[in-house]
Structure 1
Amino acid sequence: MRDADTLQWREIRSLDQLVALQEQWQALSQLCQADMFNCPGWLVHWTNQFWDKHCELYCMAGFANEKLVVLAPFYTRRSAKLLGIKQLFLLGQGEPEHAEVASEYPDVLLNQDYQAEASKVLIAWLSKISFDVFFARAVIEQSFLHQLFNNVPNIQLAEARRYSLEVKPWSIKQLSRNARSQWRRADKALAEKGAEFRWLTSSEIEQYWPSLVAFHQTRWQNKGKLGAFSDQRFSQFHQQFRQQHPDSVAMSGVFIKQQPLALNFYLLEQQKLHFYQSGWDEKQFSQCSPGFALHVWSILNSKAVLYDFMMGATAQSYKAKFSCDETNLVNMSLINSPWRIRLFKLVDKIL
């Protein structure tokens, strides 16, 4: 440990300054074994799509002998409505809910040798930032971000779970009893219809992407919701990410005569397969459970080490039926200006 060392701290207030650190940022994220949602390849792309005139960067960087060892990339977004409520987020979160790209497991990147000094400096620095509300979604309970905010007065924590499993030892036997029965019925029904499971090539991902979008949108609109793909920014984000990082995406599907019944879209990070988006034909094939069957097939036929279902509810999540390892997550919120929030809600209601 190097707690006695003094780091050189630099506050970064522009995206250009932050992007200039991209090489060191990537090296630090690798040292921290950070999930891809905390890496520059994802977050710089996120800023290109969702940054606007209402956003202001507040990023603190710590250096040891000119080497980046701490990076805390926060920003504020001011509401365009009257009174302009100012919200604090980490980069990658805070875009409009209907366009949310679900950057999960946000964290401050940290070389553990400097944790004690970083904690003191960052807590003092954050206390000087003017904001009304702070939000962070799907934060790993053991993360440095959670440690920073856990003892802040009035912080609100809502529990959630990350569901993941190791691919190599997993088998059908690890499904719950009811899920095994569901798998046998689905497997038989799909086989009788001549269904084929397969991983898609890069060109096939683009070919069948509109089908994934249509499946997804139909399902959510039937629930009276817009669906993520209703927002052009969400669609553009993923289109550009697929084009710029083709080795970081994957898709599996189940087909009958080249017609998709279900499609799963994944983000691929080294040996981790993050289940990110899906859709299936609910109108014609829901009785065959093609979405569930596709998960089973994808796990059994994945070359990844970890199959990550990402965040789910703490109870009654379908993800639990796969006998996943569960990691504690928290959704954090902090109202820093209660009187402004009350006034904002009152004015917003009147208008």
Structure 2
Amino acid sequence: MIVPASPRTRTPIHGAPSSYKYTRTIKRLWRSSWRVVCNGCDCKPMILFYGWVSMVTPSVPIVDGAPADTTIREVHDVNSWDALRTAWKQLFNTSPTAAPPLSWEWQRTWWDIYGPIYGSRLRILTVYQGDVLTAVLPLYLRRQPHNALAPIRLCLLGTAEEEFEETCGEYLDILHAPGMGPSACQVLGQRLQRTRPDWDVIDFSHVAADATLVRQTLVSSGSWQLQAERPSFVADLGGGFDTYLGELSTRVRSFVRKVLRQYEASGARFECAGSPQEITEYFSQLVDLHQARWQAVGKPGAFAAPRFKEFHYRLCQQMIPLGQAVLARLSIDDRPLSLLLAYIANGAAHYYVSGSRRDSGGIKSPGIAMNLLLKRHLASMGIQIFDYQPGSHTYKADYATRVRAMARLQSWRPTWRTALALTQRVANRIYRSLYRLPGAEEGLATRIDLTAR
């Protein structure tokens, strides 16, 4: 029987705005969207309702039920990893969990750029049946820069960067062949359990709440925590562009028709980069418009981080020729109005970054026009989903037809590093709670001022 999660165990979506309009839109998208994520065994279910996720501690028995010819191999060096390139790509093309951050190009480029800063060691777990690669779980040991006392984290490859330069790789999971997810989790869980741990915390972030990693617990022993992250906003394009528009609210449809009329009357051009020269030109314009937009409101912009800029430029050069990315431009008389970069995998386009000009040249909202034109273009190509990715922008909720819950899965080992980290976390919570006590703000402000002197 499905019942709402207890209010005492609910974890809010962090970072989501509390505005009435946003909350009302979220409730519209989540209405009648009861979902249960269960691993099919005797475990406590996870209930998702109106953007809340209950805390659970799954208990999955690990038994020796894998095929006799199943073997696990760990990859710790780049040369051995490069030898997997062809098999990895073949697995990615058939995997039901394929997402852009799990592609060979994304993973390998991320390690080249971010690995020297955050990574202390590669730990890519691969599962073979005979000589056939059937599953990959890309992991790495993350070190905390300038903090030797911080817990050693076993993270999904492509995550856990500092916020100012994070690549926001969503939907990370086990990359597995069709039907191989449960057995892959089982054998990988045995491997992590039976080998001497070299980590203090398993930290799997940017995963969907219905991902294989959530449904199947990797390690049967130890306590697991499941924390809700900001949900992802999804627009369904499977029925075509016109069908998608029919699922939007009346207010949004009216604005869409107005923007499309302005686009047709303005003589603007919608085009996608193809050649290496066009990719370089479009990407430069994307950076300029994005940075100008955010710097105008006093923020640095995503491309202010050199590694973030280099990462996406290299991905564009690699993935656009393969049809795994699209860099679109809306312009009038060769004057760019808006550009948008999205990555494509498994019939879904994932929106990552855009830039728009404020003086629009006759189009009231070039950014919305770009979103609509790209959706129409992708729908004509057979793309089923346009994923806005997690975020708190109201327009994402307005133009989405549903939401997808995201989660973070953690398991802490009882080590001195984790004890130190958890003690510090509790101390910080106690300190913050003092602000909520009557008369505490003035006293704390006085102490802060005295410390500053």
TM-score, reference length from structure 2 = 0.67
2:313 matched residue in structure 1: 239
1:183 paired with 2:260, answer no
2:174 matched residue in structure 1: 108
2:237 matched residue in structure 1: 166
**1:245-302 deviation per Cα after TM superposition (whole angstroms, max 9, x unaligned):** 3323322222222211111122234743322211101356798111112111222233
1:62 paired with 2:127, answer yes
Amino acid at match of 2:247: Q
**Structure having greater relative contact order (Cα 8 Å, sep ≥ 6):** 1
1:130 matched residue in structure 2: 198
Count of residue pairs the alignment pairs up = 347
Deviation of 1:219 (Å): 2.8
**1:164-219 deviation per Cα after TM superposition (whole angstroms, max 9, x unaligned):** 32255231333321212222333344455443333344333322322211221233
> Does structure 1 retain, via aligned residues, the 8 Å contact 2:351–2:387?
yes
1:306 paired with 2:371, answer no
Greater C-alpha radius of gyration: 2
Amino acid at match of 1:20: A
How far apart are the structure 2 equivalents of 1:25 and 1:181? Answer: 45
> Does structure 1 retain, via aligned residues, the 8 Å contact 2:266–2:363?
no
How far apart are the structure 2 equivalents of 1:327 and 1:13? Answer: 33
How far apart are the structure 2 equivalents of 1:284 and 1:112? Answer: 47
Name the SS of the counterpart of 1:52 in structure 2. helix
Name the SS of the counterpart of 2:329 in structure 1. strand
Deviation of 1:335 (Å): 4.7
1:14 matched residue in structure 2: 77
Name the SS of the counterpart of 2:241 in structure 1. coil
> Does structure 2 retain, via aligned residues, the 8 Å contact 1:78–1:84?
no
Choose 318-327 or 235-244, whichever is displaced more.
Answer: 318-327
> Does structure 1 retain, via aligned residues, the 8 Å contact 2:92–2:175?
yes
1:76 paired with 2:153, answer no
Structure 1: tracts of 5 or more residues without a match: none
> Does structure 2 retain, via aligned residues, the 8 Å contact 1:98–1:226?
no
Deviation of 1:95 (Å): 2.7
Are residues 213 and 304 of structure 1, via their aligned partners in 2, closer, same or farther at CA, if it must alter by over 3 Å?
A: farther
1:35 paired with 2:115, answer no
Are residues 121 and 193 of structure 1, via their aligned partners in 2, closer, same or farther at CA, if it must alter by over 3 Å?
A: closer
1:90 paired with 2:156, answer yes
Name the SS of the counterpart of 1:51 in structure 2. helix
Amino acid at match of 1:136: F
> Does structure 2 retain, via aligned residues, the 8 Å contact 1:158–1:332?
no
Amino acid at match of 1:157: Q
Deviation of 1:343 (Å): 6.3
Name the SS of the counterpart of 2:186 in structure 1. helix
> Does structure 1 retain, via aligned residues, the 8 Å contact 2:375–2:386?
no
1:251 matched residue in structure 2: 327
Are residues 341 and 320 of structure 1, via their aligned partners in 2, closer, same or farther at CA, if it must alter by over 3 Å?
A: same
Of 156, 174, 191, 2:226 maps to 156
**1:140-165 deviation per Cα after TM superposition (whole angstroms, max 9, x unaligned):** 22322122449862413214235132
> Does structure 1 retain, via aligned residues, the 8 Å contact 2:274–2:320?
no
How far apart are the structure 2 equivalents of 1:22 and 1:133? Answer: 29
1:145 paired with 2:213, answer yes
The within-5 A match list for 1:189-208 is 189-191=262-264, 193-202=266-275, 203-208=277-282
Are residues 221 and 240 of structure 1, via their aligned partners in 2, closer, same or farther at CA, if it must alter by over 3 Å?
A: same
Name the SS of the counterpart of 2:161 in structure 1. coil
1:118 matched residue in structure 2: 184
> Does structure 1 retain, via aligned residues, the 8 Å contact 2:94–2:178?
no
> Does structure 1 retain, via aligned residues, the 8 Å contact 2:99–2:346?
no
1:5 matched residue in structure 2: 67
TM-score, reference length from structure 1 = 0.84
Matched-pair identity in %: 24
Structure 2: tracts of 5 or more residues without a match: 1-63, 428-450
The within-5 A match list for 1:278-289 is 278-282=354-358, 288-289=364-365
2:50 matched residue in structure 1: none
Deviation of 1:344 (Å): 6.7
How far apart are the structure 1 equivalents of 2:360 and 2:178? Answer: 53
